[in-house]
């Protein structure tokens, strides 16, 4: 069973902020004005940690403590003595909580929980966790884990690169940003999206990999052309912009590439005040998850403009990534032959 209670959450948000639907900004043509740069950083996890059980919300004190711990950890990583890393190490995970090759300075996950103090971004199912995978999706996940055993997060699957990109291949190939999806999720950095509006179109421009989606609002038919970010159509449901997206080529960068071409994505954008917007995404992918599920992010207005994210600076890094991967594969093959 699917539970829809986003309206209840929205009422709670408006009550806390003292904002009514009538006070939200409007465009000259009378539509809710969603334009601007929106920051979706959050330290609230996508799934509710198991230790919270059925607890859906943090207390105010718990939220403050969690945010303070994050600030203190960032400070510790910033001020600790320099450490050397080695070739072949992980870019994401280092010793003592460090992020690997990256200095923690470059990461920007935020320091605050979601404004509602939820224990997870997921609001449906009520347990705050993703539904079970289908048997086919679980088999596929286990097979990927098997063939990538011992392979670093950002390295290509042995022998692969064109068809088999690996779970994070789209972001590594600079095709889509790791937090741009669609749908959007908080990530390591560049957690901003800019919205533009006309009377019959909305544009979503993600800072990460400068992905953009031009979304018609005029009821036109979908086109028969699969795309990495799907084919989106939008409409207004009261003061909420609803964007429905289908017709994906294959996976997106969302959830480590677990979605597939059968994804039916519904996103909702509701401006709740002059500096706040609620983003909600419902994921319906029947070949991956046994039920559809929904999460929400409280976005905040960002006064600064977006700057270009150049990814691999013209993709020059890809040659080295592939050269290193092919060398490791050759060494492994030579070692296997030598042991025969």
- Closest to 272 (Cα-Cα) out of 1, 4, 3, 9: 9
Burial degree of 4 (CB within 10 A; 0-12, 13-18, 19+): exposed
Q: Tens digits of per-residue pLDDT, 28-57?
A: 999 999 999 999 999 999 999 999 999 999
In sequence order, what are the residues at sequence separation of 6 or more whose Cβ sits closer than 8 angstroms to the Cβ of residue 203?
195, 196, 197, 212, 213, 214, 215
The more confident residue out of 253 and 296 is: 296
User: Alpha helices of the chain — where are they, by DSSP H?
Assistant: 6-17, 60-79, 135-147, 169-172, 317-338
Per-domain residue ranges of the chain = 6-58+113-309, 314-340
User: Could you tell me the pTM of the whole model?
Assistant: 0.87
Looking at residue 107, its pLDDT comes to 85
- Closest to 325 (Cα-Cα) out of 89, 146, 85, 159: 159
Read off φ and ψ for residue 315, nearest 5 degrees: 65, 20
Q: Tens digits of per-residue pLDDT, 178-236?
A: 999 999 999 989 999 999 999 999 999 999 988 899 999 999 999 999 999 999 999 99
Helix, strand or coil for residue 330? helix
Residue position matching structure tokens 């003292």: 18
The more confident residue out of 17 and 112 is: 112
- DSSP of 94-146, one letter per residue? -GGG--TTS-GGG----S---TT-BS-SEEESTTSSPPPBPHHHHHHHHHHHH
């Amino acid at each position: 069973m699917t539970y829809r209670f986003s309206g209840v959450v929205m009422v709670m948000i408006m009550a806390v902020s003292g904002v009514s639907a009538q006070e939200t900004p409007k465009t000259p043509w009378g539509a809710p004005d969603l334009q601007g740069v929106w920051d979706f950083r959050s330290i609230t996890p996508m799934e509710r940690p198991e230790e919270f059980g059925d607890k859906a919300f943090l207390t105010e004190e718990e939220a403050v403590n969690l945010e303070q711990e994050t600030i203190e950890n960032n400070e510790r990583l910033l001020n600790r003595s320099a450490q050397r890393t080695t070739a072949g190490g992980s870019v994401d995970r280092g010793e003592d909580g460090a992020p690997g090759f990256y200095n923690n300075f470059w990461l920007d996950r935020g320091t605050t929980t979601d404004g509602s103090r939820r224990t997870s971004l997921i609001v449906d199912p009520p347990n705050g966790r993703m539904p079970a995978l289908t048997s086919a999706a679980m088999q596929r996940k286990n097979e990927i884990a098997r063939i990538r055993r011992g392979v670093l997060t950002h390295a290509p699957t042995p022998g692969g690169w064109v068809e088999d990109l690996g779970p994070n291949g789209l972001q590594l190939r600079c095709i889509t940003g790791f937090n741009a999806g669609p749908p959007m999720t908080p990530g390591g950095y560049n957690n901003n999206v800019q919205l533009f509006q006309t009377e019959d179109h909305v544009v979503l421009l993600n800072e990460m990999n400068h992905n953009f989606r031009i979304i018609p609002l005029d009821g036109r038919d979908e086109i028969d052309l699969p795309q990495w970010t799907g084919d989106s159509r939008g409409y207004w449901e009261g003061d909420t912009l609803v964007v429905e997206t289908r017709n994906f080529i294959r996976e997106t960068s969302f959830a480590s590439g677990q979605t597939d071409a059968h994804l039916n994505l519904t996103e909702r954008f509701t401006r709740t005040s002059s500096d706040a917007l609620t983003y909600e995404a419902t994921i319906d992918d029947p070949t991956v998850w046994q039920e559809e599920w929904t999460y929400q992010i409280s976005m905040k207005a960002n006064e600064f403009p977006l700057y270009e994210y150049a990814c691999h600076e013209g993709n020059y890094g890809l040659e080295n990534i592939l050269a290193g991967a092919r060398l490791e594969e050759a060494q492994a093959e030579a070692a296997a032959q030598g042991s025969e």
